[in-house]
Structure 1
Amino acid sequence: MTIAPIQGPLTPQVTLPVTPVRPVIPVTPPAAPSIEINSGQVRAQLIAKTAQEAAGRQGGLAPLVADLSQALRNPMLPAQVRSAAALVLAQARPADGRVSGADIAKALAQSGLFLEARLASEPRANPRGQDLKAELLVLRQALAAWLAGAPRAPVRTPGRAPPPPYRGAGASTQPAASPSLPSDAPLSAVGQRLLAETEGAVARQELLQIASMPAGADEPLETQLVTRWMFEMPFTTPQGAAVAQFEVGRDRRGTQEGEEPAWRVAFSLDIEPLGPIHARVSLRAAQMTVGLWAEREVGLDRLRQGQDLLAHALRQADLSAEIAIQAGSPPMRAPEAGRLVDQTS
């Protein structure tokens, strides 16, 4: 006996021999064990694993911006790397005191937090020039292609990496960075240093995205009532590259039905000669609370000199504000058990 397969326009004719077999009494296999998958637990484990891996690689954005500025002065830098580096540097604003609320809103939109979400909703959109993480990924690709085949020697970046960001940690300062590459450094050493710093900056972007994720349904209700976005805004200063870390949040705790959630904004910046400056701002309806801290006397004096100007600007915006200026730094929330430990100390 033979069986001929169904013929299609591209199906060759094949004849398969079939050997008759005796009937077999069917056996019902045992039922497979029921497995319940906790999606929330799987999600938490994946996020924790990604965060742990990124925390070991992350580095500050300021050293990369400083070294890119110096590297671009080398005419031998490959054109593809030069183009990608210029777009990363275009994300850094000069710290000239003229940063507006619109600038900060733009920095949040282009911070890299929403890159994957935008690509998912608009697959054909080109994020180049509009997203910091996209620029870092392109720069990493250009550097890796340039150094392909070259041995990857260990690269020691000067200074320590800033603490890794995590949800609820609050904003913290990072010192300004000056270029760390010698002016006569070999081109291969320049590429290796830039690649290491770029990989560290990409890992930090991943941590910022994880810190900005909404709380899961299995987390405490108090955590679910607060939405936070944590991002970093690079600046250029005469002393080097600096980074301001922001946390913007909507707090629904304590709100009644129909009542608007409170807006909470925190940022920290360390620039010369002011030193570390911290701000914590809360806005509910038309009532605003502003807390400012300075860790140096010169920064404290500058804040006090501008207090009346700030109060006048808030009144012009029809906001009732309480302003407090203090020395030191704001109280920081103690990290929960299970956070990462710096073993390099």
Structure 2
Amino acid sequence: MKADMNIPPLPSAVPNGPRPALSGGDVLTLLQPLEGLISPGHRATAEVLSLKQGELAFQLLLKLTLESGRQANVHVSSSQPLPLGTLLSVSQPTAGSLAISVQQALSHQANALTRLDTQQLPPGTLLQGKVLSAQVLAQANGGPTIYRSLVTLLNSALSTRTLMLDSPQPLRVGSLLSARVEDAHTLKFVSLGGRQDQLAVTQQLARQLSRQGSLEGLLSALQKLPAHQNLPIGLRTSVEALLTGLPTPQQLGDPKTLSNALLNSGAFLEARLLNGEGRALTPDLKASVLRLIAQILPGVPANPGFNPAVAASVQAQAMPTFVRNALGMLGQISAKAQPGGFPLPQRALQNTDNEDSLESLLKLAAAALSRLQSHQLSSLEQSGRTPDGNLLTTWQLEIPMRNAHDIVPLQVKLQREEPPEKESAETPQARAIKDPLWRIELAFDLSPLGPLHVQAQLLRGNLSGQLWAQRAFTAELIASQLGELRQRLNDAGLSVTDLDCHQGTPPDSGPTQLEQRWVDETA
């Protein structure tokens, strides 16, 4: 569909002179004939309460107010759409019809909005509405086809008002419309596809967050498996590969190791599969958890009819019933986390000592899989256009680290914000302003330092950062080392503009605010 839709000007009034006789277009047909509804020689006031477009005519619901004050609702059909709220003066020439004047027939659009008040709705305002009608306008020879529609608005101060629009393509009757105000007479169509996709992501994220459990729960359980336990060879091999592949904090100080850990965190599994990298997924964390689930399932008594041939392609929405039940149980363990939050809170299963060990392991693996998917969905939810029009891309993931005998998850959130592209010629200074802004957040809990949270942003080589430590002695220790950290960052070629450490936790700013406005699909 073409992006622009025009609001036509108010039609010109009928010129003075003899009034033409009534035509068929000025007659409203009663869907149910009523004898003597309006007495001969008398008139009634009618208000349009609803409009529905049929195949051959428009169906209206009118509220009649007779001269006596009595009111009645009647259903009529009309060759022309009459905007909601339109007031008419009608008479009843026959039992099956109501008549309106020619003046009213030609200027019925007067009740529809034919311009927007840009003081009330400034350019950039997002309007949402429901299409009531669509008609083809008569065009001169060779002229483009124009479709005229009536749209009832669902938001803003003009909610319930009817707007008249001209567009180069028909608007489907009953469909939901989202458009941005350009000026008093022009709207720009905004596709709802991406918004609907993002709403689906948010709904799926809420479900995954209720099922997820901390990665260290699974990895710690794998560490504690007795060496003498009789496990299938393939399962034992997968467990050992998963545990030996965990990096230490010191190893993550190497750029190449850190890069591989980010790549193999599970956040990019589906993208790598689409690129044909299926055979190189051995170190990928999500692929390893999926493989672990597939190898545990045959040994679980509560798993009837498991098919090993499809185990490698197990996904949360296609898991066997037992795994879905395990995921559902996790939703009853603790309070639900809020979508878009960072870092994800620690969540552990209840005591499972009385359960079969493989069954407990399966539940932990299912919870860990949901946690990885929660990070992926959070990334999608926090990506899109900001209110300023900038493109925001988010990568949220988790890297489990081995710290002595403990498993410590390192949660990472990377964001890149880019200004919109412009086709006009730009000066070097203007291009510099368009450099992307990078943000990074880290959250981890290292013994004996306790929980730590790091926030930093980088723009054109200028770095600013804030650190938070929940323990007082840790905050004091970090504050005493900030000078050395600043020097090391300067040696790396960065200009440090701000670097501070605080005790406590960062202020809760909630998820990144993107432009997400939804229309009422039941309207």
**Fold similarity call, TM over 0.5:** yes
**Structure 2 partner of 1:192:** 359
**Structure 2 partner of 1:304:** 479
Distance in 2 between residues matched to 1:308 and 1:129, nearest whole Å: 41
**Structure 1 partner of 2:499:** 323
Residues 333, 350 of structure 2: 8 Å contact kept: no
**Structure 2 partner of 1:143:** 296
SS at 2:253's partner residue? coil
Of 239, 242, 245, the residue aligned with 2:411 is 245
**Structure 2 partner of 1:231:** 397
Residues 418, 437 of structure 2: 8 Å contact kept: yes
Taking structure 1 as reference, are residues 308 and 105 closer, same or farther at Cα in structure 2, changes over 3 Å only?
Answer: same
The alpha carbon displacement at 1:213 in A equals 1.8
Distance in 2 between residues matched to 1:119 and 1:263, nearest whole Å: 27
Distance in 2 between residues matched to 1:107 and 1:54, nearest whole Å: 23
Taking structure 1 as reference, are residues 165 and 313 closer, same or farther at Cα in structure 2, changes over 3 Å only?
Answer: farther
**Structure 1 partner of 2:265:** 111
Once the two structures are superposed, what CA deviation does each residue of 1:79-128 show, in whole Å capped at 9, x if it has no partner? 22212222322342234586334433322211111111111121x63243
Q: Which shows bigger deviation, 113-122 or 94-103?
A: 94-103
1:133 aligned to 2:133?
no
Equivalent residue letter for 2:369: V
Once the two structures are superposed, what CA deviation does each residue of 1:51-81 show, in whole Å capped at 9, x if it has no partner? 2331221111011111111115343122222
The alpha carbon displacement at 1:316 in A equals 1.0
* RMSD (Å), alpha carbons: 3.7
SS at 1:213's partner residue? helix
**Structure 1 partner of 2:217:** 63
SS at 1:235's partner residue? strand
1:274 aligned to 2:428?
no
Equivalent residue letter for 1:290: G
Residues 60, 161 of structure 1: 8 Å contact kept: no
How do residues 146-165 of structure 1 correspond to structure 2 at under 5 angstroms?
146-149=299-302, 164=337
Equivalent residue letter for 2:342: G
1:291 aligned to 2:466?
yes
The alpha carbon displacement at 1:320 in A equals 1.6
Taking structure 1 as reference, are residues 56 and 98 closer, same or farther at Cα in structure 2, changes over 3 Å only?
Answer: closer
Q: Which shows bigger deviation, 202-211 or 233-242?
A: 233-242
Q: Which shows bigger deviation, 297-306 or 40-49?
A: 40-49
Residues 386, 392 of structure 2: 8 Å contact kept: no
Structure scoring higher RCO (CA < 8 A, sep ≥ 6) equals: 1
Distance in 2 between residues matched to 1:270 and 1:67, nearest whole Å: 19
**Structure 2 partner of 1:171:** 343
Q: Which runs of 5+ in 1 are unaligned?
A: 1-29, 339-345
TM-score (norm 2): 0.50
Taking structure 1 as reference, are residues 164 and 136 closer, same or farther at Cα in structure 2, changes over 3 Å only?
Answer: farther
1:46 aligned to 2:213?
no
Residues 479, 500 of structure 2: 8 Å contact kept: no
Distance in 1 between residues matched to 2:333 and 2:503, nearest whole Å: 26
Taking structure 1 as reference, are residues 85 and 58 closer, same or farther at Cα in structure 2, changes over 3 Å only?
Answer: same
Taking structure 1 as reference, are residues 310 and 173 closer, same or farther at Cα in structure 2, changes over 3 Å only?
Answer: farther
Residues 297, 303 of structure 2: 8 Å contact kept: no
Equivalent residue letter for 1:83: T
Residues 174, 269 of structure 1: 8 Å contact kept: no
Distance in 2 between residues matched to 1:250 and 1:331, nearest whole Å: 21
Distance in 2 between residues matched to 1:203 and 1:135, nearest whole Å: 14
**Structure 1 partner of 2:231:** 77
Q: Which runs of 5+ in 2 are unaligned?
A: 1-54, 57-171, 177-191, 305-321, 422-429, 517-523
Taking structure 1 as reference, are residues 180 and 79 closer, same or farther at Cα in structure 2, changes over 3 Å only?
Answer: farther
Q: Which shows bigger deviation, 144-153 or 283-292?
A: 144-153
Once the two structures are superposed, what CA deviation does each residue of 1:20-45 show, in whole Å capped at 9, x if it has no partner? xxxxxxxxxx89x8786953354234
Distance in 2 between residues matched to 1:94 and 1:72, nearest whole Å: 23
Q: Would you tell me which structure has more strand in proportion to its own residues? A: 2
Distance in 2 between residues matched to 1:226 and 1:163, nearest whole Å: 26
The alpha carbon displacement at 1:247 in A equals 0.5
Residues 399, 409 of structure 2: 8 Å contact kept: yes
Taking structure 1 as reference, are residues 252 and 290 closer, same or farther at Cα in structure 2, changes over 3 Å only?
Answer: same
The alpha carbon displacement at 1:254 in A equals 10
1:203 aligned to 2:370?
yes
Taking structure 1 as reference, are residues 145 and 45 closer, same or farther at Cα in structure 2, changes over 3 Å only?
Answer: farther
Distance in 2 between residues matched to 1:294 and 1:174, nearest whole Å: 17
**Structure 1 partner of 2:275:** 121
The alpha carbon displacement at 1:181 in A equals 8.3
Identity among equivalent positions (%) equals 22
Residues 58, 164 of structure 1: 8 Å contact kept: no
The alpha carbon displacement at 1:228 in A equals 1.1
SS at 2:380's partner residue? coil
The alpha carbon displacement at 1:253 in A equals 5.7
Equivalent residue letter for 1:129: T
Residues 162, 174 of structure 1: 8 Å contact kept: no
The alpha carbon displacement at 1:205 in A equals 1.3
Equivalent residue letter for 1:289: S
Give the total of aligned pairs: 298
